[in-house]
Amino acid sequence: MKIHEYQAKQIMAEFGVPVPRGRVARSPEEARQVAEELGGPVVVKAQIHAGGRGKGGGIKLASTPQEAERVASQIIGMTLVTPQTGPDGRLVKSVLVEEQVAADRELYLSVLIDNAAGRPLMMASAAGGMEIEEVASRTPEAIYRTTTDPAAGFQPYQGRQLAFALGLGGDLLRPAVQLMTGLYRAFAARDASLAEINPLVVTAPPEPRLLALDAKMNFDDNALFRHPEVAALRDKDEEDPLEVEAQELGINNYVKLTGNIGCVVNGAGLAMATMDSIKLAGGEPTNFLDIGTVNDVARVVNAFRILTADPNVRAILINIFGGMARVDVIAQGIVDAHQQMEVKVPVVVRLAGTNLEEGERILREASLPLIRAEELGEAAEKAVEAAK
Amino acid sequence: MSILVDSHTRVLVQGITGREGGFQTRRCIEYGTRVVAGVTPGRGGETAEGVPVFNTVREAVQETNANCSLIFVPAAFAADAILEAADAGLPVIVCITEGIPTLDMVMVRRRLQGEGIRLIGPNCPGVITPGQCRVGIMPGDVFAPGPVGVVSRSGTLVYEAVDQLTRRGIGQSTCVGIGGDPIPGTTVREVLELFDADPETKALVLIGEIGGSAEQEAAEYIRQGMSKPVISFVAGSTAPPGRRMGHAGAIIAGNTGTAQAKKEALAAAGAVICESPAEIGSTTERVMKERGLL
């Protein structure tokens, strides 16, 4: 799950990571008020779940509260298009109004899970402000890493190693180690999947200090059950409406794509392989949908509900290889869906695995106008043909 | 021969009194698996699916000499269940549970490090040695005994691949679903090592998917001198970057995570790549015939 920059900064600040003074505003008037409270020049930043905001006109400077109100009125309500939003962009509903900071240096710092090591990894780079993937591909030697033993936690020596590598000696050493320790603790305590500060700035002399100028936190969906305060930060407006509806109907693994063949599959790997097969047969999937392993007829009906609500769907391909998921339950769901709604597009069904005979009996007795396939390749070809 | 489990394996089921735990335990017993005990805290002394239930794993091991655990405990309590099995000295632990928090698995992997315990999963279909022992949730009648080892991050793709093999009369030595989570207990590469050392396994089917670098690590092992042929399919060629495709681990981030990068690494190491998931069986048959293995 993703959250907004201002929310990430609040969480990091709780763990002792220094952030610029500022507050979120949901109207131009509120933006002026915040600017008045802060005093001095401010920066007004669009709050959407995507990066690259500056390039799209989503970040503006203001030297007076009146100017803050004016630029906020330009940003709030705009549809912001950045390289990460896709061509449709995102509607901006709020802005973060912060004190302007004169930066002497821009650094990068993040914590994420190193899957190969199975441990949290802290990454730092002196090339702040750039995408870390870009730094990694151009100058991998410019990224410093340290993995943490989860039993011991992040140690001060690890912070010192990174700080010295970044050139943060002298008076900045202690604050740097404190900041890194805080970032690690925020990551671990909230079950984050990413805690990133980019850029982390060293402010201009005479009194240089460290500040998280931009902040991003993503969270492990599987751990939200034990962090209700994090789950409450979810902003459904930032997500695809069909995906939100799917989740509300109990289908958690639905991803909207661009083609015209709707897929219902059990298992993430088979769902991806089914999409790949459709593509190889000359078609394009409208979605990824893993129906999962909970044996619930209503969920199958809901999958039909989602797919038939999508005007792009010209054919539906159901590919089930029962293991924990039972074919008879899926078959009953297909029958119920046809009773409860008008299915106007052709439906291709391929069933195999656990309780297949019972599932076949249910479909036979319902005598629905289904296109049947026995194998995966055949099913994909029939679906592509049916969608034409 | 086989890897991980065989007809001598004595299985205990953690979460045997749950709905899926009970259903799948019955299926395991029907398949011929020696299920010797169940564990559900507070239900000790009862009988479930015809086997005695114990309050703790330690007690179950003492009473029944179980040497493998199969876990169906809900996600919030699964890490604890894995560690309880490890603490009782079980050398093979198979965890089916989906949705375990990543940081719980970080802690579990740290705890198991250097203990010589083989954790398969979580979020996996389990392990099956056809004709001998099913420790998991796979549809048993799709599998047949034979010379091909199968390893996959996806459960249903194991069934798909095995179905294609069995329809062609090609059986399997052991099939291992390592699971779709970002931090699996056992990696693809580690399973390849086990198969490489098993004299009955003549060829391997490796099913990968987008996300992480497990296929690249496996490719490195193949390149270093694996003599058995490896046939591989990587799912997710059509997946958009940055989106999690069901499995928590299946998300393309950076260049190593793409299906293309994984296929290239495996092909460069000498694996035979199937572009279509419908061609896993036919490709395996062709490669094995070419090498005189069928």
Show me where the domains of chain A are located: 1-20+102-239, 21-100, 240-387
A residues 160-199 closer than 8 Å to B (CB): 188, 191, 193
């709604």: which residue's tokens?
A: A341
| Residue B64 and residue B194 share a domain | no
Q: Which residues of B touch A223 (CB under 8 A)?
A: 101-104
Neighbour-count burial of B231, counting CB atoms closer than 10 A to its CB (0-12 exposed, 13-18 middle, 19+ buried): buried
Question: What confidence tens digit (pLDDT) does each residue in B227-281 have?
Answer: 899 999 999 998 887 777 777 676 666 667 899 999 999 999 999 999 999 999 9
Report the Cα B255 to chain-centroid distance in Å: 26
Kindly determine whether residue B159 and residue A221, on different chains, have CB atoms separated by under 8 Å. no
| Residue B159 and residue B109 share a domain | no
pLDDT at position A296 is: 87
What CATH number did the domain enclosing B33 receive? Answer: 3.40.50.720
Kindly determine whether residue B157 and residue A116, on different chains, have CB atoms separated by under 8 Å. no
Kindly determine whether residue B142 and residue A352, on different chains, have CB atoms separated by under 8 Å. yes
Kindly determine whether residue A269 and residue B153, on different chains, have CB atoms separated by under 8 Å. yes
CA of B213: which chain A residue's CA is closest? A116
CB atoms within 10 A of CB B20: 16
- Cα distance between residue B211 and residue B206, in whole Å: 15
| Residue B212 and residue B166 share a domain | yes
Structural contact between residues A165 and A144, judged by C-beta atoms closer than 8 angstroms: yes
The yes-or-no verdict on residue B116 having pLDDT over 80 is yes
Sequence-ordered list of residues with C-beta below 8 angstroms from that of A33, at least 6 positions apart, any chain: A25, A65
Q: Which residues of B touch A151 (CB under 8 A)?
A: 107, 110-111
pLDDT at position A139 is: 80
Closest CA to B281 of B146, B141, B164, B120: B164
SS3 content of chain B, % helix, strand, coil (to 5): 35, 20, 45
Homologous superfamily, domain A1-20+102-239:
ATP-grasp fold, B domain (3.30.470.20)
Q: Which residues of chain A have pLDDT under 70?
A: none
Q: Which residues of A touch B100 (CB under 8 A)?
A: 222
DSSP annotation string for B92-158: EEEE------HHHHHHHHHHHTTTT-EEE-SSS-EEEETTTEEEESS-GGG--EEEEEEEES-HHHH
Neighbour-count burial of A311, counting CB atoms closer than 10 A to its CB (0-12 exposed, 13-18 middle, 19+ buried): exposed
Looking at residue B3, the DSSP 8-state letter turns out to be S
């805690």: which residue's tokens?
A: A195
Say if B225 falls within a structural domain: yes
Burial A119-148 (b: 16+ CB within 10 A, else e): bbbbbbbbbbebebeebeeeeeeebbebeb
Say if B131 falls within a structural domain: no
Q: Supply angle C-alpha A225, B250, A226, rounded to 5.
A: 10
């090498």: which residue's tokens?
A: B291
Boundary (domain end) residue, out of B122, B153, B174:
B122
CB atoms within 10 A of CB B48: 20
Q: Which residues of A touch B249 (CB under 8 A)?
A: 115
- Cα distance between residue B233 and residue B281, in whole Å: 11
Confirm or reject contact between A101 and chain B (CB < 8 A). Answer: no
Kindly determine whether residue A276 and residue B277, on different chains, have CB atoms separated by under 8 Å. yes
**Residue-range definition of the domain harbouring residue B215:** 138-294
Q: Supply angle C-alpha B1, B2, B4, rounded to 5.
A: 135
Looking at residue A1, the DSSP 8-state letter turns out to be -
Residue type, A229: E
Report the Cα A332 to chain-centroid distance in Å: 34
Structural contact between residues B262 and B215, judged by C-beta atoms closer than 8 angstroms: yes
Our CA-based measurement puts residue B188 at a distance from the nearest CA of chain A, in whole angstroms, of 11
Q: Which residues of A touch B142 (CB under 8 A)?
A: 352-353
| Residue B181 and residue B55 share a domain | no
Kindly determine whether residue B159 and residue A191, on different chains, have CB atoms separated by under 8 Å. no
Residue of B98, B159, B275 with shortest CB distance to A323? B159
Q: Which residues of B touch A272 (CB under 8 A)?
A: 154, 209-210, 235-236, 238-239, 245-246, 250
Chains A, B: CB contacts within 8 A come to: 178
| Residue B173 and residue B37 share a domain | no
What CATH number did the domain enclosing B237 receive? Answer: 3.40.50.261
Q: Which residues of A touch B102 (CB under 8 A)?
A: 113, 191, 193, 220, 222-223
Residue type, B75: A
Number of domains in chain B: 2
Whether residue B8 lies in the annotated active site: no
- Cα distance between residue A355 and residue B140, in whole Å: 11
Q: Which residues of A touch B275 (CB under 8 A)?
A: 280
Kindly determine whether residue A290 and residue B139, on different chains, have CB atoms separated by under 8 Å. no
| Residue B173 and residue B52 share a domain | no
Give the DSSP H or E segment for B68: strand B68-71
Looking at residue A78, the DSSP 8-state letter turns out to be -
CB atoms within 10 A of CB A60: 19
CA of B164: which chain A residue's CA is closest? A375
The yes-or-no verdict on residue B214 having pLDDT over 70 is yes
Boundary (domain end) residue, out of B80, B95, B122:
B122
Residue of A188, A270, A288 with shortest CB distance to B160? A270
Q: Using alpha carbons, list the distances in angstroms from residue A254 to A112, A286, B4, B72, B269.
A: 25, 10, 34, 25, 34
Residue of B207, B239, B276 with shortest CB distance to A377? B276
Looking at residue A268, the DSSP 8-state letter turns out to be H
Asked whether the bond before A140 is cis by omega within 30 degrees of 0, the reply is no
pLDDT at position B243 is: 76
CA of B245: which chain A residue's CA is closest? A268
Structural contact between residues B188 and B219, judged by C-beta atoms closer than 8 angstroms: no
Asked whether the bond before A83 is cis by omega within 30 degrees of 0, the reply is no
Residue of A116, A188, A269 with shortest CB distance to B207? A269
Handedness of CA B90, B91, B94, B98 (dihedral sign): positive
Say if B114 falls within a structural domain: yes
Our CA-based measurement puts residue A18 at a distance from the nearest CA of chain B, in whole angstroms, of 25
Q: Which residues of B touch A378 (CB under 8 A)?
A: 278
Looking at residue B34, the DSSP 8-state letter turns out to be E
Confirm or reject contact between A380 and chain B (CB < 8 A). Answer: yes
- Cα distance between residue B26 and residue B35, in whole Å: 9
The arithmetic mean of pLDDT across residues B23-50, rounded, is 97
Q: Which fold does the domain A21-100 belong to in CATH?
A: Dna Ligase; domain 1 (3.30.1490)
Q: Using alpha carbons, list the distances in angstroms from residue A7 to A59, A123, A128, A215, B139.
A: 17, 22, 21, 9, 46
Q: Which of A113, A114, A115 would you mutate first to test chain B, the one with the most B CBs within 10 A? A: A115
CATH code, residues A240-387 = 3.40.50.261
Closest CA to A222 of B120, B16, B244, B208: B244
Q: Which residues of B touch A220 (CB under 8 A)?
A: 101-103, 248
Show the tokens assigned to A110. 């993040």
Bridge partners, residue A107, by sequence: A200
Our CA-based measurement puts residue A241 at a distance from the nearest CA of chain B, in whole angstroms, of 16
Report the Cα A71 to chain-centroid distance in Å: 28
Residue of B111, B213, B278 with shortest CB distance to A376? B278
pLDDT at position B235 is: 95
Main-chain phi, psi angles of A198, to 5 degrees? -150, 100
- Cα distance between residue B156 and residue B167, in whole Å: 17
Handedness of CA A217, A221, A222, A225 (dihedral sign): positive
Kindly determine whether residue A113 and residue B98, on different chains, have CB atoms separated by under 8 Å. no
C-alpha dihedral over A131, A137, A138, A141, to 10 degrees?
100
Our CA-based measurement puts residue A354 at a distance from the nearest CA of chain B, in whole angstroms, of 5
Residue B161's SS3 state is: helix
- Cα distance between residue A323 and residue A327, in whole Å: 9
Say if B154 falls within a structural domain: yes
Pick the catalytic residue: B247, B271, B285, B288?
B247
Question: What confidence tens digit (pLDDT) does each residue in B44-59 have?
Answer: 999 999 999 999 999 9
Confirm or reject contact between A112 and chain B (CB < 8 A). Answer: no
Alpha helices, DSSP H, located in A197-264: 228-231, 241-248
E strand intervals along chain A: 22-25, 42-46, 59-62, 79-80, 90-91, 95-99, 103-114, 119-125, 143-147, 192-203, 210-212, 215-219, 253-256, 261-265, 287-290, 315-322, 347-353, 371-373
A residues 273-332 closer than 8 Å to B (CB): 273-280, 285, 288, 290, 293, 321-324
Our CA-based measurement puts residue A158 at a distance from the nearest CA of chain B, in whole angstroms, of 19
